[in-house]
Amino acid sequence: MTVSATSRPGPAIILVRPQLSENIGTAARAMLNCGLTDMRIVAPREGWLSEKAIAAASGADRLLLSAKVFEQTKDAVADLNRVWATTGRDRYMTKPVDTPREAAAHMRAAHAEGQTFGVLFGPERTGLENDDVAVADTVLTVPLNPEYCSLNLAQAVLLVSYEWHQCEAAETLPPMTKGAEGPATKEKLIFFFEHLERELDACGFLRVPDKRPVMVRNIRNMFQRANLTGQEIQTLHGIVHELVTYRHQKGEGKA
């Protein structure tokens, strides 16, 4: 299949705080085997672009040289409409769960609608942190032997990339209603979250320090599941603004 220069041929592969440079190289090799070229790396260790990484890439070093590096996960996903987070553990968050094959089908449908999307992979030893998973719309988990389900980074990347590559284009899936706006980018969504959380801090809703991180993640997950458009986010900004304005005016009236 010929892909135009302006199309996005597949998911961004986002490696969050990878520990070994050679694992980044083998992940690049797995990506290129399946035609994926958008590699993003969050907070890699110093010297990650090493001779070991290039050797492990085995000819896919051009992916390493063109990889985008970010300090935070939220920056790496800012331009994406949909994000999957790979994890094998229950994070006690209410999110849809896909296998790699299911995720590939959903990605194909998103691609057909012109959306941008990516997959988060965590550090080799610990996996993604809860705050990383909270940025995602959907959890991606691989159903393996429950008595032994240890995958290295490149294996996980290959499984997801392979299913994307093998999945037939989903022309039969119903597209969004013509003229409808697609999901907002993560940048717009995170900007709204930060706006809302500032005001919730100011009014005292998030006043218990020990509970604040979990409450913030739960609130973000509620809005993530809504699959909000850019216009809907603007409306929510307006709602928060008006509620704050009313509270201030009411306070001044009492004074």
The whole-number pLDDT of residue 140 equals 96
* Exposure class string for 95-112: b at 16+ Cβ within 10 A, else e: beebebbbbbbbbbbbbe
Is residue 95 within 8 Å of residue 224, measured between CB atoms?
Answer: yes
Please tell me the predicted confidence (pLDDT) of residue 9.
74
pTM metric for this prediction: 0.79
Mean pLDDT of 160-169: 84
pLDDT at 180: 63
Helices 186-203 and 230-254: crossing angle, nearest 10°?
20
Residue 250 confidence (pLDDT): 75
Residue 220 and residue 191 in contact, taking contact as beta carbons nearer than 8 Å: no
**Nearest Cα to Cα of residue 102 among 69, 130, 141, 65:** 141
CB distance 105 to 167 below 8 Å = yes
Q: In 44-191, at which residue ranges do the beta strands (DSSP E only) sit?
A: 68-70, 82-86, 97-98, 117-121, 138-140
Lowest pLDDT segment from 83-92, 93-102, 186-195? 83-92
> What would the mean pLDDT of 62-71 be, rounded to a whole number?
95
Residue 163 has pLDDT above 70, yes or no: yes
With CA atoms as reference, report the closest residue to 189 among 224, 219, 165, 158: 224
Burial of 87 (0-12, 13-18, 19+ CB in 10 A): buried
pLDDT higher than threshold 50 for residue 57: yes
Give the integer Cα–Cα distance in Å for 31 and 105: 18
Alpha-carbon distance of 248 to 235, in angstroms, equals: 20
- Secondary structure percentages of the chain, helix, strand, coil, to 5: 45, 10, 40
pLDDT band at 175 (very low <50, low <70, confident <90, very high): low
Instruction: Answer whether 220's CB lies under 8 Å from 193's CB.
Output: yes
CA nearest to 129, candidates 99, 155, 100, 93: 93
Chain-centroid distance, C-alpha 228: 15
Predicted confidence at residue 4, as pLDDT, reads 36
| pLDDT band at 8; cut points 50, 70, 90 | low
pLDDT at 51: 94
Which CATH code for domain 12-166?
A: 3.40.1280.10
Which of 80, 67, 168 lies closest to 116, judged by CA? 80
Could you say which DSSP state residue 197 is in? Answer: H
Per-residue model confidence as pLDDT tens digits over 221-246? 999 999 899 999 999 999 999 999 88
3-state secondary structure of 83: strand
Model confidence band, residue 2 (pLDDT cutoffs 50, 70, 90): very low
Question: What letter would DSSP give residue 54?
Answer: H
φ/ψ of 8, rounded to 5, equals: -105, 110
Q: What percent of the chain has pLDDT over 70?
A: 90
> In DSSP terms, which residues pair with 14 in a beta bridge?
40, 120
Query: Which pLDDT belongs to residue 62?
Result: 92
* pLDDT on residue 196: 96
